[in-house]
Homo-oligomer: A and B are copies of this chain.
Amino acid sequence: MSEHAKHVVEIGLSAAIVSVVDDSPSVLVVHTNAGDDALPFGPFDPLAHRTLESGLRTWVGEQTYLDLGYVEQLYTFGDRGRHTLNPGENARVVSVGYLALTRQCGESKAPGTLWRGWYRFFPWEDWRDAKPPILDAVITPALARFVAEAPDKASADARRDRVRLCFGGKDSGWDEEKVLERYELLYEAGLIAESARDGRTARDHILPLGDRMMFDHRRILATAIARLRGKMKYRPVVFELMPPAFTLLELQRSVEAISGIRLHKQNFRRLVEDQGLVEGTGKVAAPARGRPAELFRFRREVLRERPSPGVRLARQRAGV
């Protein structure tokens, strides 16, 4: 071994592979023996692959039979204690998280893997129907306790501000992009399963706040959701999740599914059409009920025309 042996680590690649099925944004998970879901992950072999991304595409293709369309690097995590199976074990794994989008859905063809709606892991992130009840019922009181338990006043103030910025307050509303900030706050407040697993808090402090995942995979998924929610607005990435032809309502439902909020229908259409993101096909969809809608397709040309084409979110006020 070389004198640099102590610096030697393994690179793990984790992928949040996302698809949208029936208005439900889903992520491909590996169901493990431990009971927890994990994101598909594999080692990076620097001899076999020229880039990290090509390494990722290869083993994802082999393991999941999926052909990834859009792939984007999220973040590289090196935290000890967040990636070890057993607390005693010395972690030498650095994991690079990726976001990948794919159109294919339905049952996963790979053994041991399945599609899971991502709000199972983040029930407080889905504001489409209403404010998620878990917020008032569980999270807000628990965070109020977290503020109250602060060692001194300055620390309490800081905690209070952080809670308000993450989860909104009287004046400030819900920011759907702060997925990671919210998860990290809950983790650091010692309220979720991973906090106890990583030895940050006592087991009886834990609340039932969504399903836990292996390693730091719930954190990677939070990063993925946040990135997708943000990116959607200035890059036409939603269309990676849509079939070749779709109605504007279907498109809107996908955007709503991802962002977790309801949009104003007319304004959504205006923004999408004014930006030249779609073009009509002339055909109409088979109407389940109601007036049949025109089928649209993505206009690839926008990528050349506009500097930052994306689906701006035209929020719909709650209760309308």
Contacts and interface: CB of A to CB of B under 8 A. Distances in A.
Given A50-B81, A175-B307, A4 B8 contact: no
Given A9-B10, A52-B94, A78-B52, A307 B45 contact: no
A108 interface: no
Interface string A282-320: 000000000000000000000110010000000000000
A105 interface: no
A32 to B, nearest CB: 20
A78 B80 CA distance: 21
B6 A8 contact: no
A11 interface: yes
Interface in A185-201: none
Task: Give the interface centre of A44, A47, A175 by most chain B CB atoms within 10 Å.
Answer: A47
B10 A8 contact: yes
Contacts of A44: 7, 9, 78, 94
A165 interface: yes
Nearest to A79: B51
A92 interface: yes
Task: Give the interface centre of A11, A44, A78 by most chain B CB atoms within 10 Å.
Answer: A78
Contacts of A8: 8-10
A46 interface: yes
A307 B164 CA distance: 10
A43 interface: yes
Task: Give the interface centre of A10, A43, A46, A164 by most chain B CB atoms within 10 Å.
Answer: A46
A1 interface: yes
Contacts of A303: 161
Interface string A15-26: 000000000000
A73 to B, nearest CB: 6
A60 to B, nearest CB: 16
Contacts of A76: 52, 73, 76, 96
A139 interface: no
B46 A80 contact: yes
A80 B50 contact: yes
Contacts of A49: 78
Nearest to A92: B46
Contacts of A7: 10-11, 43-46
- What 4 A-B pairs are tightest by C-beta distance, nearest first? A52-B78, A161-B304, A7-B43, A76-B76
